[in-house]
Amino acid sequence: MDKVKKYILSQIANENIPRNDAKEMLKEFIQSSKTMGKKVEEDIAIIGMAGKYPASDNLEKYWYNLKNGINCVSHIPEQRREDSNVLYSLFISGQGKMVFPNIDTYHIGGYLNEIDKFDASFFQIPPNEAKAMDPFQRLFLETVYNTIEEAGYAADKLSGENIGIFAGRDHTVTPYYKLFTSDDHPMKFTGSLTSIMTSRISYIFNFKGPSMVIDTSCSSGLVAVHEACKSLCNHECSMAIAGGISLDILPATFNGMSMITSSVHKVQTFSEDADGTIFSEGVGAILLKPLKIALMDGDHIHAIIKGSAVNNVGATSGLATPSRQAEEELLISAWKDAKIEPESISYVEAHGSATSIGDPIEIKAITSAFRRFSRQNQFCAIGTSKSNIGHTAAASGIASLTKVILSIKNEIIPPSINFIRPNKYVDFTQSAVYINDKIERWKTKDKPRRAGVSSFGFSGTNCHVVVEEAPMVLKENGFTLNDIQESYIFLLSAKSIQSLFKSIENYNTYLVDKNDKIEDICYTSAVGRNHYNYRLAIIIKTKDELIQIIKSLLSSIVDIEDYESKIFSEKLFWGDYKSNIHFGFIKEINKNLYSLNEIGVKENIFTNSFCYEVCKAYVNGAMIEWKELYKGYKYNRVSLPLYPFFYKRYWFEPDEVGVEKLTVSKDIRLSCEKVDGQDRSSIGKTLNKKDTILIGKSENIITPIEKVIGNIWGKILGFEEVNVNDHFYNLGGSSILAIRLIENINVYFNTNITIKEFLEYPTVFELSLYVSSLSISNQELNTYDNQKNKEENKNEAESNTEDNNLIVPVRLYSLNHLNLTNNYTWSQLDCYERGIAIQCEKIDFKLINYFNFMVGVRKGFNLSKLGYSNFELQDKFKSNENLSIVDEVLQLCGLKVKAFSVSQEENVCERIAQIIDKEEMAMVLFDEYYIFYSNFYKIKHTDHLTIVNGYDKKRELFNIVNHNHMEVNLGKEISYSTFSVSFDVMEEIYRERSAEYKKVLVIDPIEDKPISTQNIKEEYLRIINYIAKSLHKGSALDLLEQIIRDEDNYFLEKNLNKLYLQLGGLELTLKCILRSYNGPNYKKIQMECSQIVKLAGSIIDRYSISVFRKKMLNFESLSKEFDQIQNLINDVFNTILTDNGII
């Protein structure tokens, strides 16, 4: 540009150009420069893509077939033929007016290998709902996820973003699958509704941008791309996913489309022998982002969209007849939108319908359009993917665009096959285009590779997109942290062990075949992937080292079930943190991640020792903010192998008609079961020949009620195995399924449980307890077992007469609501608060959630205007004079904490047993260890308390309720279960403590004050109302703001303990709200609570990092996030009040 300007000025100086002419030239040049700059702002980057096409389960196979000129049209796959036969049989007895052919006659076409398989558990969709989902929804959902991953992004990090979903789907083919679904199936409507195809994706990933399904017939997919680009340019979304899908559930041959289908089963586009198309299947999607932002973000750019246009043929000689003029004007409009010289286009991916009318019109339209700008002949190649894969209808535009992107990236134009002699109505020698019937190198001179993609709809709506190769990205000069990185961390994770092993196999191929840099691979594996429970972490220095470790890993594992004992070294770490198995090491992480090496933190965080500790934390379940760790590094996202879904078949079988009704007659209800000591293990078998497997209880003792409810639960959702503590909605439940579940439970047990009551007891365990309180039958059922247990205990007591006057030989207080205090982190409920909550059961188990809420809200919010003092850390042993939060909450119920001292002279175990005899359970001292408040901060816990709820004098054992304190990294959610501890261990623990801490704590009534839960319920409502009607961002962020603004106290490490405890209070408050909320906006509130926790935790983690890095944060850089959290909190509490959904 500058050279042109200097040249014009020099010509003026030499008087070679008249001044007036030069002035006009300069004006035109400056205007052109502005226009070009503006266009760069409007260009759209394609940063991710994925798809499945005939004989191509992925884009690598698709490119292989295109490049090698393979015809992918074939007969229907055998399994699909069998499924289609079953579906066809439903119509044998004269359904509607459609005439079907013989059952074994199916048209030749381009088929996907499988459309019945899906990884429902990956997307947390219940099996029965997955079965009711149209394959269109399932396949497009998977393709969108793969597209996001291919771009190097983690879907969960995009939650809440303004991301648009644009999908093309035509309805030329009848949506038969919904006819295969029983009208009685509760999820049939959402499973088959076309608009839900994109809305479900927005719902699952919490995308807030436009979400729409577009039907313009064959051009639907490319029109979706056009609409997505315009939405980005209009700032309606920050990123957009666009694509198309076409499936043929029942590909029976009938005469409706015979006029445009090929009689020889070949798509011979532009050939003299062309006699029609072949309809096929496909699904594809691309991820779009403004080019300017993609370059700034270091995205992997496949190609860019320069411009696009859409029009309609209007009135022609007949409905659905193509128009040369309309197609010509379409191309010119797209070129104008792209602001390019048409001669710079060197390839056109044609619509190429292979019809006698359509082909000549398309060539003439292209030539006429070019002739407005150039008289050159045959300077532009032309071809079509339809000759390889057939006409994929609504997916044809995205299939063509994907082909062009792959061609540009590989610098190759694949052959357009099935072309022998040109169409006699087209003179290619005088045309601007030529048929590219053989593979050729895509050569260019000084200009980038540029192509056009056309897609024409049977509806008359046409679309054309101009595509250009990605700009060259030059590496920045100068020193960066990359230059001194000592080691790299490579990560892999999956939701199943099978998927993890498949990922390892995929990387074994990828690492050899691709030239991506090791630093970019490791960076993308961390920041560009979701991190699931099955985890692998490898420390390496070079790409070759990673290749060798992956190869040795694969060779060492013969059997998947044998993996745990095989894999561990100083460089390789393995873990399944959800099942609490940690392979290769059992040592606790004994140093803070950000104080391992102060010099290393300042200059190069990825030291060997640091990587070692990070990998241990990662495989143990630590949710590490990888983006924070990589701050200061200049790495790019690359296209890594996609997540390998663990597919299962979700398809209605011949003997199924939707979900089988669970209604049972009254004569087989529980009340008819005998209670005379006979075996009652058959309860619930009238519901299921195969019982649902129930897990999640200590010693896995399942009650008869739990067994029945578990069977109903499993049948409604479609699970073979259910954890009795899993929340109904976390299993993928919905209001529709909840209604069906309650209907069947009410019929079975002769109860009148409402939806509101069900939402109070949303787990199998809780609901079973509630049903048992309503059902006389259940009480009768348990009478026999209880009597038997009493007799056994009595016999044992009588046989153990020694010291019988001191303690009863066996005593046990059963805890039936332990799940109400489980799954909380240490900062949400510490051992003291959790112990008090557990003891609340002996008063009223409903008190537990109120107690937890009050503890959380007192720590997490400033309630001074309601008369509460600010949260302060207090010693729970020394005195009750200054009331702690726990004391304040208990006083609302007429309760207090009572401390029994244990003197040096007393027998500790006898003293504890005496207290248990009177109080039923109590808290006692226990071991010390480190606890993690976050991945970045931990403290030593020296005054741990645990619950004792029983003892066995004969075996000298206490029954305690505690977490597994040998477990590494207690920053994650902690659950308590039952353990046994010997009398000797308890005596040793008390012997080591000073006198002031030798106490046993219980909760007792306050004298002259009645025990009541009414006060705490009223206070609960008062606080909810107060927070909803005023603006709050939580005590932790209030305190953090003060700290950031106070330079003198910024780097005090003591700030961290209080910050994380207050953050835990906020998290606890939100968890309790979710548990007690029963309104219609549960999913919305759940997502907003998740956002609040994620944002607030991230901010405090950043402060924690800054303390150890000795680099202060700037409050202004956090203010937007502070405001966002405040708005989210306000919305959550106001939604609760609006819905009137508080228990």
Catalytic site residues?
A: 218, 351, 391
CA distance 145 to 119: 12
Using CA atoms, how far residue 28 sits from 22, 40, 41, in Å, is 10, 18, 20
Full DSSP string of 1036-1085: HHHHHHHHHH-GGGTT-THHHHHHHHHHHHHHHHHHHHHHHB-STTHHHH
The alpha carbon of 461 is separated from its chain's Cα centroid by a whole number of angstroms, namely 36
What's the Cα-to-Cα distance from 269 to each of 63, 429, 465, 807, 1023, rounded to whole Å? 19, 17, 20, 93, 71
Q: Tell which phi-psi region holds residue 103, choosing left (phi > 0), alpha (psi between -120 and 50) or beta.
A: alpha
Token output for 517: 């840099």
Name the DSSP letter for residue 864: G
Q: Which amino acid is at 946?
A: T
Distance CA 30, CA 1 (A): 9
Nearest to 1039 by CA among 1115, 1132, 1105, 931: 1115
Please state the φ and ψ torsions of residue 363, each to the nearest 5 degrees: -65, -45
With CA atoms as reference, report the closest residue to 69 among 348, 345, 422, 440. 440
- CA pair distance 1027, 1125, nearest whole angstrom: 13
Q: How far, in whole angstroms, is CA 862 from its chain's centroid?
A: 33
Strands (DSSP E) along 23-162, which ranges?
Answer: 44-52, 117-118
3-state secondary structure of 811: strand
Q: Judging by DSSP bridges, how do beta strands 534-540 and 572-576 pair with one another?
A: antiparallel
CB contact at 8 A, 687 and 662: yes
Closest-CA residue to 165 (of 155, 157, 175): 155
d(CA 831, CA 946): 7
Decide: 1072 and 852 in contact? Cβ < 8 Å: yes
3-state secondary structure 285-299: EEEEEEHHHHHHCCC
* Amino acid in the structure at residue 1015: N
Closest Cα partner for 208 from 164, 240, 155?
A: 164
Among 1094, 894, 1107, residue whose Cα is nearest residue 1014: 894
Query: For the chain, how far is it from start to end, CA to CA, in angstroms?
Result: 70
Nearest Cα to Cα of residue 468 among 448, 498, 482, 487: 448
Give the number of other CB atoms < 10 A from CB of residue 1074. Answer: 17
393 DSSP 8-state letter: G
Number of H helices, E strands in the chain: 36, 30
Report the C-alpha gap between 902 and 1002 in whole angstroms.
14
Give the number of other Cβ atoms within 10 Å of residue 420's Cβ.
Answer: 9
Q: Using an 8 Å Cβ cutoff, are 969 and 621 in contact? A: yes
Q: How far is CA 777 from CA 286, 702, 786, 811, in A?
A: 58, 17, 14, 28
Residue 960: count of CB within 10 angstroms of its CB: 22
For 211, which DSSP code? E
Which among 283, 200, 277 is positioned nearest to 246, based on CA atoms?
283
